[in-house]
Structures are given as structure tokens and as C-alpha cells.
Structure 1
Amino acid sequence: MTADERPSLPAELDRVGHEALDELATREPAALRAASEYLENLAAWKEAEGEDVLSPDDGEPVTYPDGVPERASVSVTEIAGTEYYYYQWREGDEINSETVRR
């Protein structure tokens, strides 16, 4: 890569990952280095914790039911005193959701 060539986005990232990197690309070099250091530390922590799934606000790991992609957003909702995981994701122009008892 020469000084005139911008680095390519990693192919293994999804659309959201590419959008995040596109946003970071607008930042100053010092901010990029700080973000890089944070992300390296975060990756090491997740590996050490064995954490490979998202967690809602209470920190409890979330697993995705069959048919729900791992890119789905996850929130915890309480209905009539019972807590549920609420998964929501987009497929093309369609927004899908699924609610599962916690």
C-alpha cells in the first residue's frame, strides 16, 4: 500500500461494521489510534471472558434463538411481570422481530 492508497475495509465485517469504520475514517489520526487501542483491549477482554454474544443492560449474556440473526438488536421488556428478550432486525425493507420469555 502506498501513501496514496486508502486501506480497504475488512471483508468479514457486516454492514454495521462497515458503517462504523466509515464514520471512524473521518476522525483525526490521534482519535483513530485511541479507538484502535480501545478496540484491542475490548477484544482481549471479550476473549478472556469467553464473551461472544451481546448483553442487555444488566450484563447477562444473550443467545439468539433459531431464525434470529446475531446482528439483531436485543432489549429486555417486562410484560405483566414477566421479562422477555425482544429481538429486532432488518431484512431488506422489512423489519422483523421476535419476543422470547427470559
Structure 2
Amino acid sequence: MTADERPTPPTELDRVGHEALDELATREPAALRAASAYLEELAAWKESDDEDDPSPDDGGPATYPDGVPERASVSVTEIAGTEYYYFQWRDGDEIRSETVRR
């Protein structure tokens, strides 16, 4: 690539992603390298976070209790040697939660 050729942005991005890239293109090289390092770490974190999400395949709940939406986040908590599913979700402006023995 010569100094006159600007790299081609990835096609997988949506409108917001392309706007973010356009904004980053105005930054100095050091800022771009810092953003790149951060984005690599963020991608790795998101991949590991996806692996930690409970699901029926990895021991997570097969069904959600009545009144708990399937979009609720689920974590496993141990209290006094007993494991519980901790469901948490947003309902309008409120955050709701429910704890169920595993």
C-alpha cells in the first residue's frame, strides 16, 4: 500500500460502525494504535463473556421461571454451600431480579 492509498473499511459493519471508522480516520496514528489495542482486548473479552453465559448446553437453566424473560442475564451464586441461579433483567426503568435454587 502506498501513502496515497487509504485502506478499505470492512464490509461487515453497519452504519454506526462505518461512522465510528470515519471518526477514527481523523485521529493521529498513536490514537489509532491505542484504539486498536483496546478493540482487540474488547473483542477477546466479549468472546470470553459469551462463553460464560449460562445456557442449557453448559449447565445453565433449561427454562426460565414464570415472570422471568428469556433476555434476563443469568449468573450462578453460591450461598452457604447451595448454588442458586440469579436472574436479572430490566423492566422499563426498573431492574428486576429473582433467585432460584439450582
Aligned to 2:3: 3
- Aligned sequence identity (%): 72
Unaligned stretches of 5+ in structure 2?
A: 52-71, 74-89, 97-102
Q: 1:76 and 1:30 mapped to 2: Cα distance? A: 42
Q: Which amino acid aligns with 2:11?
A: A
Q: Which amino acid aligns with 2:2?
A: T
Aligned to 1:32: 32
Structure with greater proportional helix content: 2
Q: 2:39 and 2:6 mapped to 1: Cα distance? A: 21
Q: 2:6 and 2:35 mapped to 1: Cα distance? A: 18
**Shift >3 Å, 4+ stretches:** none
Deviation per residue, 1:28-71 (Å, 9 max, x gap) = 000000000000000001101117xxxxxxxx65xxxxxxxxxx
Quick one: which of 74, 92, 97 aligns to 1:77? 92
Unaligned stretches of 5+ in structure 1?
A: 52-59, 62-74, 84-102
Aligned to 1:49: 49
TM-score, normalised via structure 1 length: 0.51
Larger Cα Rg: Structure 1 or Structure 2?
Answer: 2
Residues 82, 44 of structure 1: alpha-carbon distance in 2 compared, 3 angstrom cutoff: closer
TM-score, normalised via structure 2 length: 0.51
Q: CA RMSD in A?
A: 2.5
Aligned residues: 60
Q: 2:91 and 2:12 mapped to 1: Cα distance? A: 29
Q: 2:44 and 2:95 mapped to 1: Cα distance? A: 35
